[in-house]
Amino acid sequence: MGEFNLIKIDGKPLEKLLDVVSKGIGKIYTPRAIRKEVDAKAYEIEIIERAKAKAYLNRQEIEQDLLDRIEERILYREVKKQKNIDAVTMIAAEELKNENTVSDTPVNEDWTVRFFNVVEDVSDEMMQQLWGRILAGEVKSPNSFSIRTIECLKNITKPEAELFTRAANFIFIYNNNPFIFRDDNLEVLIKNDFSFEEVLVLIELGLLQSETNLVLDCKSKTKDDEMVFVFGKNIIKVIKKANTLQQQIPLLGLTKTGEELLKLLTITPIDAYINYFCVYLQQKGFIIDKDFTKQTKGTEPIRFFV
């Protein structure tokens, strides 16, 4: 397999990763940080000769100094792109190093080509972290991240990514679906330093749904109804007593792209926000099962101030 004899392959996850990268960039991939030797000069000569050949094939008469500048520009650009690919690949390798197995399903080659066409121009370290996790996630379980998500993230700036990271701390999971509790006029978000304008930015980016009047409809039933909300590692169980009034919990919903990118983030719930949520539910007639949150194994109990 060509240059694979120069690569330390440590199990199927890394082997699959290198195969995906090779298909994405069109050649057998030997990232600098895990190959035994590097022939940088040969790579430089290859780029320069490619530039010359392109000029000659186009039958352009170019003065030598101009050709030299073209060579330097192409070399600089290509080396920078390769460094970006190397950085993202090594982040993915780090993410996969503790995985024993990955899915046998191959990563879609169109997805792979689109991915590396984007990451070759990503030099910011924080954004490289996100792209590396996406690559690792796709190698581990193909179809985890859509091409639509790649295109969306490509157009997101570092400050916008940081904004979504902050927004994740307001997200809870109900029935395997992520939501943000918003109350009337987004008061709870504003009180916790997340403005209406920032919500609009996330809607414009395609991470939050444009419908801002979503509700969780809690209908009246003839028996007690239990509901479980997950905030990061915190679990809240609430009870809606039988034959009580129908209630609605106002929400903001994530788009499919938002849901996929949420997989990359660690949610750090805000205590004041969670407590506000609990008070809101109590005012609506729900009963908070505090003992449940304390007894649930593997979770961090909520510190209630209600």
Q: Which residue has the higher pLDDT, 182 or 100?
A: 182
Q: What percent of the chain has pLDDT over 70?
A: 78
Decide if 119 contacts 81 (C-beta within 8 A).
no
User: Which pLDDT tens digit goes with each residue over 54-102?
Assistant: 666 555 555 667 777 777 888 888 889 989 999 999 999 999 988 888 8
pLDDT score, position 39: 52
For every residue of 204-261, DSSP letters joined together read: HTTSB-S---EEEEE---SS-EEEEEEETTEEEEEEE-TTPPPEEEEEEEB-HHHHHH
Q: Which residue has the higher pLDDT, 181 or 41?
A: 181
Question: Burial, 187: exposed, middle or buried (Cβ in 10 Å; 0-12, 13-18, 19+)?
Answer: exposed
pLDDT score, position 19: 82
- Whose CA is closest to 227, among 284, 306, 300? 284
pLDDT score, position 115: 95
In the chain, where the domains are located: 2-155, 159-295
User: Which pLDDT tens digit goes with each residue over 157-175?
Assistant: 999 999 999 999 999 999 9
List Cβ neighbours of 144 (8 Å cut-off, separation of 6 or more): 137, 138, 260, 263
Question: Longest Cα pair distance anywhere in the chain, in angstroms?
Answer: 87
pLDDT score, position 212: 79
pLDDT score, position 61: 56
pLDDT score, position 200: 95
The mean pLDDT value for 173-194 works out to 92
Confidence grade of residue 125 (pLDDT, cut at 50, 70, 90): very high
Residue 300 has pLDDT above 70, yes or no: no
Taking the alpha carbons at both ends of the chain, their separation in whole angstroms is: 64
User: Which pLDDT tens digit goes with each residue over 194-248?
Assistant: 999 999 999 999 999 998 788 998 887 888 888 999 998 888 888 988 888 888 9
pLDDT score, position 6: 30
List Cβ neighbours of 26 (8 Å cut-off, separation of 6 or more): none
User: Which pLDDT tens digit goes with each residue over 3-45?
Assistant: 333 333 455 787 888 788 887 776 656 555 444 334 555 566 6
